[in-house]
Amino acid sequence: MKTQVGIIGGGPSGLLLSQILHLQGIESVVLERQSRDYVLGRIRAGVLEQGTVEMLRDAHVGDRMDREGLVHDGFHMAFGGQIKRIDLEGLTGGKTVMVYGQTEVTRDLYDARDQIGGVVIDEADDVTPHDIDTDSPYLTFHREGNAERLGCDFIAACDGFHGVGRQSMPKDVLKIYERVYPFGWLGVLSETRPVDEELIYANHERGFALCSMRSPKLSRYYVQCALDEDLNEWSDDRFWEELKLRLPEDAAARLETGPSIEKSIAPLRSFVAEPMSHGRMFLAGDAAHIVPPTGAKGLNLAASDVYYLSRALIEQYKTGDESRLRDYSKTALSRVWKAERFSWSMTMLMHKFPDQGEFGAKMQQAELDYLTSSSAAMTAMAENYVGLPF
């Protein structure tokens, strides 16, 4: 097999890159390790920055998002018995975010690829990049037990944190930066009316909690939990009781509970791999970086990587100018690190740390009190939350 861009990974990064290139007449093949059902069964991100929304519309995959997504022009921060609103739209001159699940984004992308004849090979095993520092890199993989080879001009490793792309970069080239947090998020999806029309981020002495949603009838909740929590110890009743304890009284009183249709624990880490390219292989999305979900940046960073990489590949194919490809890593990392900083700072502000002590708790309350009483501080929060410019 031969194509122009070989893409490892059929998550949001790989599918969006493939779709954007296709619309510019550039061929690609996506090699996805899992089955389509498995990929679509993962419950992940929920909030799309304005830049991501515009990219999806430009890639002709925004129609259902615009019909079913929820435009949010603010969110709430609860702490010390108070609840304060961050007026995203008012503080950023009209910018908002879209609440629309990553699962739906991925479904829309798969449908779009199928509709225009995109090549996505599911259940591709042992995908392996070769000769990435030559002019003719290629990928090998197994499909239904048969060995296959995909020749390409460039390889995009969109294969997530556990992917093969980053692992294939020379060890003496790669520099890793990492911070693992001493807690995780226990998440629940339930077919209940969301507790509020907007998201609530809660700092509480028992730990962080987040009230989010997927639709007016589908709620997504999280509570901070210990890293070694046993999911079997968390009945729905225990989850709902713990969530209520961490929310302001009126929110807890109106919380509609019900059976969980998904329950999982996600670890939290900050992670960046530099550089994001080597030879003719380019890393995009979780393959290159991970953020704690506190700032709702993970999926959105994947989108901005794809924005920069697709623009660079299109320029190379249209004009032969490789300068944007050469600058891809530096350009993408500039935005990645700012999102890493925001996600880290939100995580430090909102969670209970085992070693923070009473002084640390007081610092968090003082910062939250200052943040929500200063338009300058809220403006900084708002412009990061809606997404810094691409």
Binding stretches for ligand FAS (CB under 6 A): 8-14, 31-34, 39, 44-46, 102, 124, 127, 158-160, 162-164, 266, 285-286, 293, 296-299, 302
Active site positions, annotated: 72, 201, 293, 297, 385
Q: What single DSSP character describes residue 157?
A: E
Residue 191: its H or E element: none
State the nearest-atom distance from the C-beta of 65 to ligand FAS, in Å: 15
11 touches, from ligand FAS, ligand PHB, none (C-beta below 5 to 8 Å by class): ligand FAS
Using the minimum distance from each CB to ligand FAS, give the nearer residue, 74 or 285.
285
Half-sphere exposure of 58 (CA within 13 A, CB side): 16
Q: Based on the shown chain and the rule CB under 6 A, indicate whether residue 46 belongs to the binding site for ligand PHB.
A: yes
State the nearest-atom distance from the C-beta of 77 to ligand PHB, in Å: 12
Using the minimum distance from each CB to ligand PHB, give the nearer residue, 21 or 199.
199
Tokens of 375: 């338009």
Using the minimum distance from each CB to ligand PHB, give the nearer residue, 126 or 197.
197
- For the chain, first and last CA: distance in Å? 34
Integer Rg of the chain from CA: 21
Strand partners, 187: 222, 264
State the nearest-atom distance from the C-beta of 350 to ligand PHB, in Å: 10
220 touches, from ligand PHB, ligand FAS, none (C-beta below 5 to 8 Å by class): ligand PHB
Piece of the chain touching ligand PHB by CB under 6 A; list 128-136, 153-161, 268-276, 291-299:
291-299
Q: Indicate which single residue of 20, 31, 47, 348 sits in contact with ligand PHB (rule: CB under 6 A).
A: 47
Contact 73, 368 (CB under 8 A): no
Residue number of the CB closest to ligand PHB reads 46
Give, as ranges, the residues between 160 and 199 that touch ligand PHB (CB under 6 A). Answer: 199
State the nearest-atom distance from the C-beta of 365 to ligand PHB, in Å: 21
Angle formed at CA 186 by CA 182 and CA 192, multiple of 5 degrees? 155
Using the minimum distance from each CB to ligand PHB, give the nearer residue, 223 or 313.
223
Piece of the chain touching ligand PHB by CB under 6 A; list 161-169, 237-245, 255-263, 288-296:
288-296
DSSP string, 229-282: --GGG--HHHHHHHHHHHS-HHHHHHPPP--EEEEEEEEEEEEEEE-SEETTEE
State the nearest-atom distance from the C-beta of 79 to ligand FAS, in Å: 21
Contact 64, 111 (CB under 8 A): no
Instruction: State whether residue 104 is helix, strand or coil.
Output: helix
Which of 224, 241, 148, 128 is closest to 185 using CA atoms? 224
Strand partners, 129: 139
State the nearest-atom distance from the C-beta of 92 to ligand PHB, in Å: 17
Distant-in-sequence, close-in-space partners of 227: CB < 8 Å, separation ≥ 6: 182, 183, 184, 267
Q: Based on the shown chain and the rule CB under 6 A, indicate whether residue 219 belongs to the binding site for ligand PHB.
A: no
Using the minimum distance from each CB to ligand PHB, give the nearer residue, 77 or 199.
199
Q: Indicate which single residue of 3, 103, 192, 212 sits in contact with ligand PHB (rule: CB under 6 A).
A: 212
Nearest-angstrom CA–CA distance, 365 and 361: 6
Burial of 15 (0-12, 13-18, 19+ CB in 10 A): buried
Using the minimum distance from each CB to ligand FAS, give the nearer residue, 124 or 281.
124
164 touches, from ligand PHB, ligand FAS, none (C-beta below 5 to 8 Å by class): ligand FAS
Specify the residue for token string 């990049």: 129
Nearest-angstrom CA–CA distance, 86 and 107: 31
Query: Footprint of ligand PHB on this chain (CB under 6 A)?
Result: 45-47, 199, 210, 212, 220, 293-294, 296
